[in-house]
Structure 1
Amino acid sequence: MSNPYELVIARTFDAPRELVFKAFTDPEHLKHWWGPKGLTISVAKFDLRPGGIFLYSQQSPGGEVLWGKFVYREIVEPERLVYTNSFSDEEGNTVRAPFSPTWPLEILNTLTFAEHGGKTTLTMRGMPVSATEEELETFKEAHDMVRKGFAGTLDQLADYLSKV
């Protein structure tokens, strides 16, 4: 039985698995597509290893800056990537989401990359870590919003992959 709080997003890309995996694990790729459409991504720190961190900022056209981070847990190239994702300050300290006082502090993300006939299916599973009941409900209620946001981000990835 599936967990009602877990968010699952799957998308197939017209690109080999190694390239799709690299797009998620190389800052030179990530900065071109990661994040909401219209925001500029800057990589402050990138350390791809278990316990390592990807610290980045996203700047809106109006100049607002949001910080985020991944803390890597597992890296199995090119098939699996596991990390926690959270909002942060510029030093990498975890902070509350600016849009909700009940958004979970950390989301555990498990990404799997499966190749079939030169195309790669990415399956992303997200689940709050050590969340309160209220935080779990907030995350569950936001599933549609998060899916829409990731649809835009993954559209940017598909476009980027078609050019590299």
Structure 2
Amino acid sequence: MPVTDVSTDTENLTMTVTADFAAPVERVWSAYSDPRQLERFWGPPGWPATFTAWDHTVGGRANYTMNGPRGEKSSGYWEFLTIEEPRRFAVLDGFADEQGNPNADLPAMRMEFTFESAADGTRMVATSHFVSVEALEQVVEMGMIEGTKMAMSQLDAVLQDLREYAEGKGTRVELLDDTHVRITRLVSGPRELVWRAHHEPDLIRQWMLGPDGWEMTECIATTTVGESYRNSWAPVGDTEGEPFGFEGEVLLIDAPCRAVTTERMQGMPTETLNDLNLYEEDGATLVTVLIEYPDKDTRDMILATGMADGMEESFARLEREVLEPSRS
């Protein structure tokens, strides 16, 4: 992860984030000065940001809204105070309503970002200045430190060419904290088709089978918020195992980019939150699934079942059975 240190200083009323990136200063600067790139990492996983206004000039404003997995929204604004490309910029960062009007009930802060060349790329130091100890403690209690670390863990994928970042690396599992796991897999195909393959029963049945020797016996899919889905599998022939399935409800749909659902094994009360995101670049689509577990023990138990291996076999089948035929 890029973040190497987060420190707070109640005497000087600051919080300082230090991060190292394997990319030159100019590339890191471009990620912070382009709203479309910022949207990929400014919000923490599960809370992606959308910038609705962007005036990248001194005195200009940028408005953004972070969209939570259950439809929650948290909005903010930047007022650009200084811009010294590509080494430094400073903003007044505050909370706002969805129209960008400042929320006076929550603390604003001055944020200074500096970018310096380092042996392996770029060192970024971001210092937030608060008006009082209470304001500093308030944002810390709101989870700003954890949220910043998780948000910036997404930046490596932005700074690199997508194929360089993920091609040939299979299904990757990252433990973000005790209850959040991020799973990524690059597939060679357009986002629109990958979206359809996740939500149309005829396509789902072609690839979402897990290990060889299993068949999908039930597939009820939906892209309507509030409706339920249900998938079931059973062993074929001499394959050992008992039939099983998953079901849940759709919480959020932003086709063809994002779908958030609950998931539980049929007949079991334990539920996870699954946040599917699709990002396309150069004819390839990065599939990212952020899974929120109720606790660490549940997380470890489910990962120990070989879930990631089963997902890799399914993704390989997705490329072979759905995406490759579409190119012929």
- TM-score bracket, normalised by the shorter chain, equals 0.7 to 0.9
CA distance in structure 2 between the partners assigned to 1:142 and 1:33 by the alignment: 19
Give the conservation status (yes or no) of the 8 Å contact 2:21–2:120. no
Deviations 1:104-140 (A, max 9, x none): 2x11000000012351000000012xx3x4xx22414
Distance 1:149 1:36 in 2: 5
Higher relative CO (Cα under 8 Å, sequence separation at least 6) belongs to 1
User: 2:128 — aligned with what?
Assistant: 126
Runs of 4+ residues over 6 Å off in structure 1: none
Identify the match of residue 146 of structure 1 among 144, 147, 151.
Answer: 144
SS of 1:37's partner is: coil
Contact 1:7/1:143, CA 8 A, preserved across alignment: no
Percent of aligned pairs sharing the same letter: 26
1:113 to 108, 112, 115: 115
Alignment of 1:11-160 (within 5 A): 11-96=19-104, 103-104=106-107, 106-117=108-119, 119-128=121-130, 131=131, 133=132, 136-140=133-137, 142-143=139-140, 145-160=143-158
Distance 1:138 1:108, change over 3 A: closer
The 1:66/1:121 distance shift into structure 2, 3 A limit, reads: same
CA distance change for structure 1 residues 12 and 141 in 2, over 3 Å: closer, same or farther? Answer: same
Aligned length: 152
Task: Quote the Cα distance in structure 1 between the aligned partners of 2:128 and 2:38.
Answer: 19
Q: Distance in 1 between matches of 2:46 and 2:66?
A: 10
* Structure 1 counterpart of 2:134, one-letter code: E
Bigger mean CA offset, 139-148 vs 107-116: 139-148
Cα distance in structure 2, aligned partners of 1:63 and 1:137: 29
For residue 195 of structure 2, what is the aligned residue in structure 1?
none
Structure-2 separation of matches of 1:143 and 1:57:
20
Q: In terms of Rg, which structure is larger?
A: 2
| Residue aligned with 1:94, SS | coil
TM-score by length of 1: 0.83
Looking at structure 2, the residues matched to 62 and 146 of structure 1 have their Cα atoms a distance apart, in angstroms, of: 20
What's the RMSD between the two structures over aligned residues?
2.0
Call closer, same or farther: CA 1:34–1:107 in 2, change over 3 Å. same
User: What's the CA shift for 1:162?
Assistant: 2.9
SS of residue paired to 1:147: helix
CA contact (8 A) 2:31 2:158 kept: no
- Unmatched runs of 5 consecutive residues or more in structure 2: 1-8, 163-328
| Offset of residue 10 of structure 1 | 0.3
